[in-house]
Structure 1
Amino acid sequence: MKIQTVLHKPEEHAQKLEFFKNWEELTYTTKMIPYENCYIAVLEIPDEDFEKLVGIFQSKEEAMGAFLSNAMEYGWEIVPESYVIYHAHFEDNKLFAGLLPKDSNPAIFDHLHLENMVKEMAKYPRVVVYSYDVVTYIKDVYPEVDSKLYVITREISKVKGYAPDLEQLAQIYGVNLQSLEDKLRFIQELITKPIKLKDGELQLPPVDKPTITC
């Protein structure tokens, strides 16, 4: 298991580890990575260590869940090993939404099946969107999505002070985004390669960075 948190200064690391006094059976390695004006602390615990807690807990999985819940109380979050891209648009005044998981194919849902899409989305620890506006379509049925979001326009704006909409960016690339699948695959390209903007290229932070802002 890998968990991470944001530190404003390295001295906060010891405080963030205070909860570990309740988990003496576990071993861990830790590293600190500079991030914007802060630091990301990453802590890794071997999965097999949680087997030592079987007896206290009914299973290794239950022990891992309890540990993660305790860590989250101290501001830690899981390092996501997978993600899903989400986008939505209207066709003939009807809402269609789509998911594109990492290393998989897109799935498209109409407005009558958004809850099915949300159930699928909930399986992933990170949800990537180009801009936050598409989140409003699912916020009522999936309010927890905010805790998983990676919003590309926010990351662009932090550096550039502005962010083009998806269609404007497509014009810079010279691509025609007609279908929802086109848009999902275009967003996928944006998180795997430097983004081309009118004033140069920009490398986005990794998708697995903490959702906590610096």
Structure 2
Amino acid sequence: MTKLSVNINKIATLRNSRGGNVPNLLKVAEDIQEFGAEGITIHPRPDERHIRYQDAYDLKPIVTTEYNIEGNPIPKFMELVLAVKPTQVTLVPDSIDQITSNAGWDTITHQSYLQEVIAEFKSSGIRTSIFIDTDLKLIEAAAKTGADRIELYTEQFASEYEKGNTDAVQPYAKAAVLAHELGLGINAGHDLSLENIQFFKQNIPNLAEVSIGHALISESLYLGLQNVVNMYLHRLQ
């Protein structure tokens, strides 16, 4: 079964909006795991507008499943990840002021840089994943960086699927097949939801993990967090 890692950035956004500790980020992470999710994802950004760097440290003893930290490997981020030692680090080429991730790595142009960064993380026993688009040349180049996995950037699929274009999954399927042949594990994330997750899962071979935050938290406002986590788990079976 494909693992579900829940991104809790939106919980931190809600907490920060009032300046206190409601909702309690650590308690929510604990509960999400109790509800059956197999991982917790956070994406701290330099301005700490949602996840704070201290949250990454505080969550370490709370996350008993898989702990995934996403971000651009600037020095401050690398220092954080090397200190916390999560299960996985997902490298995302975000600019400092970016609202949300909107592109994968150019693994050809940045190959030597990624090789250096990944080698440092792997020397500390941290699994590495590269956020990436479906271009097969970029997948081939990703395999040369030493990364353990790729995370397919799924916004284009989600947008087209909403319009009824189910063929939009094909580039992702082809990318997944090639990645598997090259020895890369396959993750996916961005705009995956209850509406499209089952179809995506059924069409992507060897899908190891999905990371879902915005949609899952939004859906939970109507359906309840425990219920939504279990709805995702059911669709991913």
| Structure 1 and Structure 2 fold alike (TM over 0.5) | no
* Structure with the larger strand share: 1
Larger radius of gyration: 1
- Normalising by structure 1, we get a TM-score of 0.29
